[in-house]
Amino acid sequence: MAASVIGESRSAPEGGPMSIEQVERGLARLRMNEDGSLGARATVLNLIVVTDEESAPSIAQVVADLSGHYPCRAILMISDPDEEQSKLDISLSAFCSLRHGTPGGTGSQICAEQITIHAEGPPAGHLESLAGPLLLPDLPVFLWYPNGQMPRPAESDGMVALADRLILDSGGVDDSDAFMRGVADLSAGGSPEVGDLQWAALSPWRSLVADLFAPAERAGELGEIKRVEVLHRPAGECRALLFVGWLASALGWRPESAVRGKAGREFNFSGPSGEVTAALSPDSPDARLRRVRILSEEYSYQVSRHRELSDVSSTVMRSGELLAGRMVQLGSFDPGVLVGEELRYRGRDEVYKAALRTAAEMLDL
Amino acid sequence: MAGSLQTNTQLSADLLRDDSRLPKVPEPGAMVIFGASGDLTARKLIPALYDLAAQRRLPMEFAVVGVSRTQMSHDEFRKKLRKTLDDQRSGETSDAVWDSFCGSVFYLAGDTKKAETYQELKDFLKRLDGERGTRGNRAFYLASSPTLFPAVVEKLGEAGMNRGENGGWARLVIEKPFGRDLESAKELNTGIRRYFEETQIYRIDHYLGKETVQNIMALRFSNSVFEPLWSQHYVDHVQITVAEDIGVGTRGAFYEEAGALRDIVQNHLMQVLCLTAMEPPVAFDAEGVREEKVKVLKSVRRIPEDKIEEFAVRGQYTRGWAWGEEVPGYREENNVAPDSTTDTYVALKLFIDNWRWAGVPFHVRAGKRLPKRVTEIAIQFKPTPHAPFAGAENLEPNILVVRVQPEEGVSLKIGAKVPGSGFQIRSVNMDLLYGTAFLEEVPDAYQRLLLDLMLGDPTLFIRADETESAWDILNPVIRSWAESEKVAFYPAGSWGPGESEDLLARDGREWRRP
């Protein structure tokens, strides 16, 4: 269906500070077509994004792309509370899609709206007072902090309270231990539900690993796992921790000890059938997981990604002999795709919570 | 979760897949396609299976075996399939993924009427069980000519392939047409059921695999606002249109045998009718949904054979203009008899004699060479009992239109006041266009149905009694038309013959222009 849509970006000429009424009126004007007809507004959610000046251009592009696929009212908040002077600048834009097959296009324009709020100084410390009145009623509110950012302590109450779901991104954080603990604390609170783009990015990997053990004759091997090796990018440790946390929580492994060395980190678990070691190595030069290898006495299970392509290979070996193998597509990990994945997910993600909890326990060792 | 891990024998991959974020993946198995050298295999089935494999929706232990009379090696078969895929996708196929997928695609040349072909197939599938771990599970897809269906089913049964190997499952997929009339449909079903249980049979109507068709159920049964209005209390009549803008093209020979009644009305249109009129199912599962659909078909009033003309119109297109181009009439098409009476257009007036729909006419039409391709359901509501506004006596009725294609959405025609003094009412179309709220890639209908087949979910497949009931409704029309030469002509590019307009005009109604 996406192919049947063409889009048009429209921006309001005015900017600067505006009242709530001016914002609503300006957005309605943007939905108006040249012939005077009003484009319909199909909206499935509210999306608030909090970011800084530096990241704003790239994040704005992601939000614009997203609104083509998830019609929403997006509120992009560029926040700089450290400035001394108060400043508030609001600009409006809309992305209007025209569906093919309707002569003239009248009544076929679907518009998603974007409000960009640039707040500096004291107003940036009270973002909830700006975002709250602009939310569309009766629709879920997603609050996204991109690029490893977390809600500032001052935002934790106001902004987070507006959201039904908080989306974070543990990719590329400097201190993965602190970030994971922070997310675990937020998640334990329960409201709003927390999601992590790095967890969304793990779905295909987890599915491929589950496939390796799908035949009944290999399912028993889950209890024979002795070692797990994860190659990841240097700044992608959180994703690797979540992966191991997931395996451990699903298979009942209890974290016992941890060693940090030059080559990476090793965690030891006590499982129902004995000891299991998980080794995490920041060995991959690119921005993703590179390889997951799961070893038992006899078998070696591996999912590995091609360095350049998005194809991924899965193999099952027994004593050096290839038993099964295939190549599939891993899918896209662009931020827009991952955020889109999170926007589809509305419920409580118990599997993620368990993986996160276990990962936090591993870090506490 | 740790508490559930007691012994290794209890471990299951479900521990890793028990997660709503991860897709369901079928058990290992092999799909055997009869008629594998045909168009359907190369253009629909293999691309759908390739996409499923690439998107990690198939198990690692999966194989496809094509069977056909044409002599070909495995590699020749694979190259032919790859070429069609490349032509369709203009080089967007991943070489690495294709190489991996086609390593599990095989070909067996053989005459499907001969027993030895099945013995060879059986041995080959057993070999795949050992080499590729397909575990005795088989889906047999009959993509060959319908005339071969009975022979293939019989030979499969005689070879003992109507049961999977070593406790595995065996499923049989049949493409429409499911017979030519009620008698032949019953004969086909009886023949199949000599060897396969109904639960093993998957009758495929790709219309049901379309997201947009499934959305009819979502609209009706997930929105409480529509359901109370959905009955004879408020509905004046219903119009269902399945229109195509193309002619028969190269399919003249096929169409001479089929016609719109058999090709579209018996299956696609009856399915849309069922989804529109059915009661809410207890659950969205195979028996829940199909049971309710059958109830609708059983409730459709049978047309008396001596009154066919009052309820049915057979039309055929003549030379005309379509989208700025002059196009030939049906009788001028290749492989069509110059005096053919084949129906390229059908209009029917049907009644559903049950509590909900008593007295509400369902006007259904399907045709080729109509002005545009569109499938829609229009629910026209009864007029208001009284118009309190002076000068607004002729208020137009509300119409709720559910568009299935090409632009999925819902449109509601409502009356609104024209600004100014006085109280003038005008109708306004409110387009809900709910389809635009989810602009995600919509899976191909075959992808969805093949995956359901491998997962063993027959909800979107057609049960024997559905297909027989649909034929039973149409049988009087088929018999009457077989004995009559009368055809109503319409120029290509128009909305059907005048007789079709008369069908509604007699009740003071008219077809809407989609």
Contact B495, B511 (CB under 8 A): yes
Amino acid type, B341: T
What are the distances in angstroms from CA A170 to CA A2, A287, A364? 29, 13, 18
User: What tens digit of pLDDT does each residue of B153-200 get?
Assistant: 999 999 999 998 889 999 999 998 899 999 999 999 999 999 999 999
User: What tens digit of pLDDT does each residue of B503-514 get?
Assistant: 999 999 999 988
Q: Which of residues 253-312 of B touch A (CB under 8 A)?
A: none
DSSP class of residue A37 equals P
Indicate whether A344 belongs to any domain. no
Shared-domain flag, residues A74 and A204? no
| Spatial CA neighbour of A321 closest among B124, B100, B131, B54 | B131
Each of the 365 residues of chain A gets a pLDDT tens digit; together they read: 333 344 566 777 766 788 888 888 888 888 777 776 666 676 788 999 999 999 999 998 898 888 767 878 999 999 998 888 999 999 998 877 665 444 333 445 667 789 999 999 988 988 999 999 999 988 899 999 999 999 887 666 789 989 999 999 999 788 999 999 999 998 988 779 999 999 999 999 999 999 999 888 888 899 999 999 999 888 789 999 999 999 999 999 999 999 998 888 999 999 988 999 999 998 755 545 689 999 999 999 999 987 777 789 999 999 889 999 999 998 888 888 999 889 888 778 999 999 999 999 999 99
The first and second tokens of residue B257, run together, are: 């045998």
Chain centre distance of CA A349:
13
Secondary structure of residue B138 in the 3-state scheme = strand
Indicate whether A124 belongs to any domain. yes
Shared-domain flag, residues A163 and A68? yes
Q: Do the chains contact at A213 and B441, CB–CB below 8 Å?
A: no
pTM attached to this predicted model: 0.86
Shared-domain flag, residues A214 and A137? no
Q: How far does B372 lie from chain A, in Å, by closest CA?
A: 10
Secondary structure of residue B135 in the 3-state scheme = coil
Chain B positions touching A224 (Cβ under 8 A) are 8
Shared-domain flag, residues A221 and A106? no
d(CA B61, CA A324): 8
| Per-residue pLDDT, B314 | 98
Q: Do the chains contact at A219 and B12, CB–CB below 8 Å?
A: yes
Q: Is B486 left (phi over 0), alpha (psi -120 to 50) or beta?
A: beta
| Per-residue pLDDT, A104 | 39
Shared-domain flag, residues A175 and A42? yes
Shared-domain flag, residues A117 and A48? yes
Chain centre distance of CA B136:
29
Average pLDDT over residues B407-426: 77
Q: Can you give the length of chain A in residues? A: 365
**Proportion of chain B above pLDDT 70, given as a percent:** 94
Candidate from A72-86, B52-66, B227-241, B430-444 with smallest mean pLDDT: B430-444
Contact B343, B261 (CB under 8 A): yes
- Distance from the first to the final alpha carbon of chain A: 49
Chain B positions touching A226 (Cβ under 8 A) are none
Indicate whether A237 belongs to any domain. yes
| Per-residue pLDDT, A196 | 96
| Per-residue pLDDT, B92 | 77
Beta strands in A170-253 (DSSP E): 193-196, 227-231
d(CA B262, CA B273): 15
Summary mean pLDDT of chain B: 91
Please tell me the total count of domains within chain A: 2
Indicate whether A248 belongs to any domain. yes
User: What tens digit of pLDDT does each residue of B315-374 get?
Assistant: 999 999 988 889 999 999 999 999 999 999 999 999 999 999 999 999 999 999 999 999
DSSP class of residue B24 equals P
Indicate whether A342 belongs to any domain. no
| Per-residue pLDDT, A280 | 95
- Three-point CA angle B288, B289, B291, nearest 5°: 70
Indicate whether A36 belongs to any domain. yes
Q: Which of residues 36-55 of B touch A (CB under 8 A)?
A: 53-55
Question: Is residue B231 packed enough to be buried (19+ CB in 10 Å), middle (13-18) or exposed (0-12)?
Answer: middle
Indicate whether A132 belongs to any domain. yes
Q: Do the chains contact at B433 and A351, CB–CB below 8 Å?
A: no
d(CA A173, CA A153): 18
Which H helix or E strand runs over B349?
strand B345-351
> Confidence class of residue B445 from pLDDT cuts 50, 70 and 90?
confident
Chain B positions touching A309 (Cβ under 8 A) are 94, 96
d(CA B484, CA A93): 63
Supply φ then ψ for residue B205, to 5 degrees: -125, 105
Helix/strand/coil (H/E/C) assignment for every residue in A306-334: CCCCCEEEEEEEECCEEEEEEEEECCCCC
Among candidate residues B74, B206, B237, B268, the one labeled active-site is: B268
Shared-domain flag, residues A26 and A41? yes
Chain A positions touching B96 (Cβ under 8 A) are 306, 309, 311, 327
Q: Do the chains contact at B22 and A203, CB–CB below 8 Å?
A: yes
- Chain A to chain B, count of Cβ pairs less than 8 Å apart? 167
Q: How far does A71 lie from chain B, in Å, by closest CA?
A: 6
Domain boundary, last residue among A196, A211, A243: A196
Q: Which of residues 422-451 of B touch A (CB under 8 A)?
A: 429, 431, 433-442
Helices B46-54 and B95-102, axial angle in degrees (round to 10): 110
The first and second tokens of residue A218, run together, are: 């290999």
Shared-domain flag, residues A36 and A148? yes
Average pLDDT over residues B112-138: 95
| Nearest residue in A to B18, CA atom | A351
Q: Which of residues 139-198 of A touch B (CB under 8 A)?
A: none
What are the distances in angstroms from CA A109 to CA A7, A95, A274? 9, 10, 61
Domain boundary, last residue among A151, A181, A196: A196
With a cut of 50, say whether residue B36 has pLDDT above it.
yes
Secondary structure of residue A8 in the 3-state scheme = strand
> Confidence class of residue B9 from pLDDT cuts 50, 70 and 90?
very low
DSSP class of residue A149 equals -
β-pairing, B235-243 vs B361-367, is parallel
Chain A positions touching B11 (Cβ under 8 A) are 219-223
Q: How far does A16 lie from chain B, in Å, by closest CA?
A: 31
CATH (domain of A262): 3.30.360.10
| Spatial CA neighbour of B203 closest among B466, B404, B445 | B466
- Compute, in degrees rounded to 10, the torsion defined by CA atoms B108, B109, B114, B115: -20
Domain encompassing residue A23: 7-196
With a cut of 50, say whether residue B51 has pLDDT above it.
yes
Average pLDDT over residues B479-497: 96
Shared-domain flag, residues A274 and A321? yes
Chain B positions touching A223 (Cβ under 8 A) are 5, 7-8, 11
Shared-domain flag, residues A178 and A232? no
Please confirm whether the linkage preceding A137 is cis (ω < 30° from 0). Answer: no
d(CA A280, CA A267): 8
Please confirm whether the linkage preceding A272 is cis (ω < 30° from 0). Answer: no
β-pairing, B201-204 vs B170-175, is parallel
Domain boundary, last residue among A151, A174, A196: A196
With a cut of 60, say whether residue B436 has pLDDT above it.
no
β-pairing, A109-120 vs A87-99, is antiparallel
Known active-site residue B268 = yes
d(CA B18, CA B138): 25
Q: How far does B370 lie from chain A, in Å, by closest CA?
A: 15
Contact B450, B45 (CB under 8 A): yes
d(CA B437, CA B132): 42
Q: Which of B9, B16, B96 sits opposite A220 (nearest CB)?
A: B9
| Per-residue pLDDT, B437 | 56
| Per-residue pLDDT, B384 | 87
Strand order from edge to edge, sheet including A5-11: A5-11, A87-99, A109-120, A72-80, A45-51, A141-144, A165-168, A193-196
Q: Do the chains contact at A5 and B17, CB–CB below 8 Å?
A: no
Higher pLDDT, B90 or B120: B120
Chain B positions touching A342 (Cβ under 8 A) are none
| CB within 8 Å of A54: residues ≥ 6 apart | none
Q: Do the chains contact at A250 and B15, CB–CB below 8 Å?
A: yes
Shared-domain flag, residues A192 and A204? no
Supply φ then ψ for residue A72, to 5 degrees: -150, 170
The first and second tokens of residue A243, run together, are: 């992966």
Q: What ipTM was reported for this prediction?
A: 0.78
Shared-domain flag, residues A218 and A187? no
| Per-residue pLDDT, A99 | 53
Q: Which of B7, B60, B96 sits opposite A314 (nearest CB)?
A: B60
- Compute, in degrees rounded to 10, the torsion defined by CA atoms A152, A153, A159, A164: 100
Supply φ then ψ for residue B500, to 5 degrees: -70, -40
